[in-house]
Chains A and B, each alone.
Chain A
Amino acid sequence: MSLPMSSTTPLLEARDVHGGYGGMNILNGVNMTLHANEVGVIVGPNGAGKSTMLKAVFGLLNVTQGEILLNGQPIHNLPPNKLVERGMGFVPQEKNVFPSLTVKENLEMGAYLKPQNVKRMLEQVYAFFPPLVEKRHQPAGELSGGQRQMVAMGRALMAEPSLLLLDEPTAGLSPLYMNEIFDRVKQINAAGVGILMVEQNAKQALAIADKGFVLAAGQNRFTDTGAALLADPDVAKSFLGG
């Protein structure tokens, strides 16, 4: 019996994903399910494979075993530019802007595959991140960390992704900017974009998470809703610093 593709097909599904760099496995069987209306957060100790998992989803890493599905279609080991075509957006943790390009040019590059959308999406991104409007002709390399993060997220949004991957979007930002970024993440999700992000600020991130994935040693340790993970004393003791 085959089930029809229905609205219950997850946006992203990872099944028993193994992978790593140069023959050394960092991921040892990660499982994830995320729906379009959800914010998924990956937390865990250093070296648990959080960012590596995100890179595996975005095709930056060789997946040696298991599979990753986007809307039910296998996507593992497709190159990043193909994944962008299929509606995935990725914001790396570092080096996430083009420093010598202006803010506007950075955003235009985000819609590189959809040049006809540039004008409309620019307006939307400027409306979403108002501080970028007056900086639009300034090289992105001259902006502050928080504004740079806005450019980075804006660039990814320009392609109108259905799934947005964020690698530690609040790293190095002040608490004020951190809350601002988390608010924006929730708003983006409310607009129908599935979010999968890696976070060091685990408590704050899990607070806005529909799904939380606690990884350790390249495997799922706990998987539940964000609220349930925050309430779980085991999770709190081992991963959230008590």
Chain B
Amino acid sequence: MNELVFFINNVIIAGSVTGSIYAIGAIGVTLIFSIMRFAHFAHADMMTFGAFMVLLLTTLFPAAGTSIGVPTALVMLPLAMLLTAALAVGIDKAFYKPLRAHGVKPIVLVIGSLGVTLMLQGLIRLFSGTGGQSLYVDDRKEIFRLALPFEGARAPIVITEPQLYLFVITLVAVVALHVFLNRSRLGKAMRAMSDNPELAQASGINTNTIVAVTWVIAGGLAAIAGTLLSLDVTFKPDLSFFLLLPIFAAAIVGGVGHPYGAIAGGFVVGFAETLAVFNWNVLLRPFRDSLPTWLELPSNLAFVGTEYKIVVPFFILVAILVWRPTGLFKGKVIQ
């Protein structure tokens, strides 16, 4: 029974946490690709930027949340989303729009976004310092231990407050995005532009507006993902280093340009990571007596060591692309 609890804590909960963060990040990547047709490498740094805005605001007003009983960082999240959305629109105006106006190839925009990534990372580092910082400035991270009502289950299921918020916010964001894309006039226009930009223009859709809306949504979602990740662990200026590859893997695995694919891809990559580093020895331990005596179980039976976690998304990416080149959902092909 304790082994099952261990599995729930280390795979189900941990995988859902990572999966949710990757999913929200990947939605942004996939939306930007479907509207502007380029891989936006600065996306992970927009996530860091969002988290950094929350850190700044929380440091300025550390007690803002205590009166209503939620972490201050969460109270600051909407404001940080707005700031990150503004940053995204600003970056587009300053760097990507002039390039688009020249009719450059997508690869030029990709390289441009690499430049933006370095610039953003440098700027954040300049103000935040290089070390990690907790987003819990004045308040304390609640940890819930749920004891299971079974005999022999001594270890509790452990879930933290930010993880619960993460699940709720992810669900709300995904449902809101679904409603927006399928019910609203602007959302449908966004899908139309993703399908066929020339025809969208010929229908009177102002493509500049759609581009701006895409950046607002992608920026807002990036702030959510970055903040919730930083709440779960800590804020670091180089968070993007650990996020960039997984969220691109998630977007591609799901099928580029496909928001639901990005969600599925996020969870596939998230769970693959946690399953790969999970120590399977723990689950086999109860059956130790029934195993042949010559079979000595190694104490660590994980596929890869935790330090190699970052290679897992890469492996998944290659495997999916070999097996299904357009991703799980039928996506576009990146040129």
Contact = CB atoms under 8 A, between A and B. Distances in A.
* A, B co-complexed: yes
Interface of A: 58, 60, 79-81, 84-85, 90, 92, 95-101, 105-106, 108-110, 112-113, 115, 155, 159
Nearest to B193: A98
Nearest to B330: A100
In this complex, the member of B185, B189, B201, B204 whose beta carbon has the largest number of chain A beta carbons within 10 angstroms is B204
Given A95-B196, A101-B195, A109-B192, A81 B185 contact: no
What is the interface of chain B mostly: helix, strand, loop, or mixed?
Answer: helix
Q: Which 6 A-B pairs have the closest CB atoms?
A: A84-B204, A98-B195, A113-B204, A98-B192, A90-B202, A109-B203
Contacts of B291: none
B199 A112 contact: no
Contact of B185 (A58, A95, A98, A112): A112
A47 B202 CA distance: 23
B201 A109 contact: no
Contacts of A115: 185
B127 to A, nearest CB: 41
Contact of A80 (B185, B189, B195, B201): B201
A97 B199 contact: yes
A109 B200 contact: yes
A85 B204 CA distance: 7
Central interface residue in B185, B189, B191, B195, by most chain A CB within 10 Å:
B195
B192 A96 contact: no
Contact of A110 (B185, B194, B196, B203): B203
A98 B196 contact: yes
B75 interface: no
Contacts of B198: 60, 92, 95
A150 B200 CA distance: 17
Interface string B97-115: 0000000000000000000
A99 B199 CA distance: 11
B196 A84 contact: no
A170 B199 CA distance: 18
Contacts of B200: 98, 109
A184 B185 CA distance: 29
6 contacts: A80-B202, A84-B203, A92-B198, A98-B196, A99-B196, A108-B185
Nearest to A158: B203
B304 to A, nearest CB: 38
A105 B189 CA distance: 9
B74 to A, nearest CB: 36
Nearest to B206: A81
A141 to B, nearest CB: 8
Contacts of B201: 79-81
A81 B255 CA distance: 31
A98 B204 contact: no
B196 A108 contact: no
B205 interface: yes
Contacts of A98: 191-192, 195-196, 199-200
Given A99-B195, A101-B188, A92 B202 contact: yes
B191 A100 contact: yes
B203 A112 contact: yes
A81 B192 CA distance: 15
Given A98-B195, A101-B188, A101-B195, A58 B204 contact: no
A224 B260 CA distance: 55
A193 to B, nearest CB: 16
A112 B191 contact: no
A100 B206 CA distance: 20
Contact of B189 (A84, A90, A100, A109): A109
A108 B196 CA distance: 15
B140 to A, nearest CB: 47
B82 to A, nearest CB: 27
